């Protein structure tokens, strides 16, 4: 059965105390909205419709930056969840299948949970609702079930009787129904309630009044975590990190201090990789099997190949491609550069906008001077080349295969294969000058102190 997903992302989120729409606040380097879109993609949704409102232009742009095929619709007035879903009706008129309603501020609904909801739909339930047993039910809507375990109704806390408030099975807001049935039920929803809003939850009672069966699928309370404040945002990030650390360990990665390693929403780490303490992954990082990421390194937008070693205290910026068995050492920064198989950049160097050949060795203090103030230029270093310490390579420039540069050189012209390039001022020694200069300075300092 085809599946479409509607993601509600229209709320302002006043408790965030921010000019940024709530769903654009980040967890693990991605907006909350993107996490919800990942949930939709996990069940191969054929269509994703994002309902925007507050900050709609920015929210829509973020959704389409992640998935250009996402359909953006607007809820110009916030009149409740049923009204919000109704805004997606026109975008789904030609869709024949089930619709799942998710929320942009509830980022962690898992694939297995959504598939169990879809299975319940396949088994004949007209409307399927995701619920959880709440430790403190408080403001959550309650799921009222019948003797056979079917779902009778969802009652908002502010409209609930004392008996209903005693129920601990609570509503997450996530709902699944056939597209045609969903919008027919929404059309029948009224706003005769304490908030004068159109509640999506009312469709359960409307479906039961028609004689249709409804079901509740349950998951952990942590999975339904919503984000409404900065405190919630911090808790969500902590929950994400805990879950991903456990998954990474389960998948065969060694971490010496898991609690100090921070992953992005899209980090990929291969089996038998080793990650030492205090490593931070930004977006778009892939670390292949057997690689070693040493302590206090920061990686973003890069690819680390098998058996490579990065760090300690290394920074890989977007576009860094580290080859098999390559070495990137302490206080080295790589940006938009390819480091070839077995190449070494071991100490205190910056390599940007460059290609470094296989088995090349880059000495300490080397800099690729890639930026002229307006344009970026490329440095090419050949296979097995040896770049002497404290070399400045002024791009565009090429150092050939098996070539060398002398330490302290400023290289402004191409170096042919197998050649040795030395570019530095001739050294001049001035006999006795150092002692005379030092004595003069000491005398001046003594005279200054005597005058005080």
Residues with active-site annotation: 347
Phi first, then psi: what are they for 262, rounded to 5°?
-120, 125
For CA atoms 238, 244, 249, 255, the dihedral sign is negative
- Name the helix (H) or strand (E) containing 77: none
Residues ≥6 apart with Cβ < 8 Å to 319: 301, 302, 335, 336, 337
Which one, of 385, 349, 343, lies nearest residue 368 by Cα?
Answer: 349
Q: How far is residue 245 CA from its own chain's centroid?
A: 14
Could you tell me where the DSSP H helices lie in 47-139?
Answer: 56-66, 81-86, 111-122
Distance separating alpha carbons of residues 154 and 150, to the nearest angstrom:
12
Distance separating alpha carbons of residues 272 and 308, to the nearest angstrom:
12
Distance separating alpha carbons of residues 450 and 452, to the nearest angstrom:
6
Are 227 and 105 spatial neighbours (Cβ–Cβ below 8 Å)?
yes
Q: Which residues pair with 5 in a beta bridge?
A: 48, 100
Which one, of 295, 310, 309, lies nearest residue 257 by Cα?
Answer: 295
Extract the tokens encoding 275.
């990650």
Extract the tokens encoding 54.
């507050």
Are 334 and 322 spatial neighbours (Cβ–Cβ below 8 Å)?
yes
Phi first, then psi: what are they for 202, rounded to 5°?
-65, -15
Could you tell me where the DSSP H helices lie in 227-362?
Answer: 230-250
Residues ≥6 apart with Cβ < 8 Å to 241: 28, 262, 263
Q: Residue 435 in 3-state DSSP?
A: helix
For CA atoms 249, 253, 256, 257, the dihedral sign is negative
């Amino acid at each position: 059965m085809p599946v479409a997903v509607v993601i509600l992302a229209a709320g302002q989120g006043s408790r965030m105390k921010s000019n940024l729409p709530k769903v654009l606040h980040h967890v693990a380097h991605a907006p909350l909205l993107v996490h919800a879109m990942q949930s939709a993609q996990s069940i191969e949704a054929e269509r994703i419709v994002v309902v925007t409102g507050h900050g709609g232009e920015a929210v829509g742009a973020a959704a389409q930056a992640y998935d250009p095929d996402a359909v953006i619709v607007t809820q110009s007035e916030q009149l409740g969840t049923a009204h919000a879903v109704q805004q997606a009706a026109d975008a789904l008129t030609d869709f024949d299948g089930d619709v799942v309603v998710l929320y942009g501020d509830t980022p962690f609904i898992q694939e297995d949970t959504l598939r169990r909801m879809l299975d319940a739909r396949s088994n004949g339930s007209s409307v399927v609702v995701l619920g959880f047993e709440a430790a403190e039910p408080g403001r959550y809507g309650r799921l009222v079930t019948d003797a056979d375990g079917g779902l009778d109704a969802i009652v908002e806390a502010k409209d609930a009787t004392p008996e209903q408030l005693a129920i601990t099975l609570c509503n997450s807001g996530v709902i699944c129904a056939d597209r045609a049935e969903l919008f027919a039920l929404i059309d029948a929803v009224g706003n005769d309630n304490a908030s004068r809003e159109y509640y999506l939850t009312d469709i359960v009672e409307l479906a039961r009044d028609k004689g249709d069966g409804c079901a509740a699928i349950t998951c952990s309370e942590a999975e339904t975590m919503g984000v409404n404040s900065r405190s919630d945002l911090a808790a969500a990030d902590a929950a994400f990190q805990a879950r991903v650390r456990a998954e990474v360990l389960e998948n065969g990665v060694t971490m010496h201090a898991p609690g100090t390693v921070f992953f992005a929403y899209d980090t990929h780490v291969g089996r038998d990789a080793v990650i030492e303490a205090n490593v931070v992954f930004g977006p778009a990082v892939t670390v292949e099997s057997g690689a070693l990421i040493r302590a206090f390194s920061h990686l973003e937008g890069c690819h680390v190949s098998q058996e490579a070693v990065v760090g300690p205290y290394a920074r890989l910026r977007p576009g860094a491609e580290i080859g098999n068995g390559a070495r990137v050492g302490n206080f080295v920064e790589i940006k938009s550069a390819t480091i070839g198989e077995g190449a070494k950049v071991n100490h205190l160097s910056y390599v940007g906008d460059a290609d470094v050949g296989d088995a090349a060795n880059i000495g300490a203090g080397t800099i690729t001077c890639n930026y002229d103030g307006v344009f970026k230029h490329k440095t090419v270093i050949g296979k097995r080349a040896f770049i002497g310490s404290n070399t400045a390579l002024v791009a565009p420039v090429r150092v050939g295969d098996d070539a060398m540069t002398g330490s302290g050189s400023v290289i402004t012209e191409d170096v042919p294969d197998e050649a040795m390039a030395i570019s530095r001022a001739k050294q001049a020694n001035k006999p006795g000058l150092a002692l005379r200069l030092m004595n003069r300075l000491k005398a001046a300092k003594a005279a200054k102190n005597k005058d005080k």
